[in-house]
Amino acid sequence: MTTAVADRTLTAADRCDRCGAQAYVRVVLESSGGELLFCAHHSRAVEATLKPLSSEWHDESGRLHEREPVPVD
């Protein structure tokens, strides 16, 4: 595991820590440097609690609305 906080893009392999859905929000905790991943739903559910404790709040949930399923040629 790396502790470097790279501004990497979340992928389909990143899963919500709460429900296992695709993660769209990556949170880095200020205290431990630990990384948490949340789906759009759970990021909103934990935002009020976790955001003040986080050093980074990387939210890609906007992509939910931008990226419609694209047919593969």
Q: Does 36 bind Zn ion (CB under 5 A)?
A: no
The correct pick among 10, 14, 16, 36 for binding Zn ion (CB under 5 A) is: 16
Q: Which amino acid is at 5?
A: V
Q: Which stretch binds Zn ion (CB under 5 A): 6-14, 24-32, 38-46, 55-63?
A: 38-46
Residue 73 CB, nearest distance to Zn ion (Å)? 32
Number of H helices, E strands in the chain: 2, 3
Q: Does 18 bind Zn ion (CB under 5 A)?
A: yes
Task: Measure Cα distances from 4 to 9, 13, 34, 41, 51 in Å.
Answer: 14, 19, 10, 26, 19
Q: Which amino acid is at 7?
A: D
Which parts of this chain interact with Zn ion (CB under 5 A)?
16, 18-19, 21, 39, 42
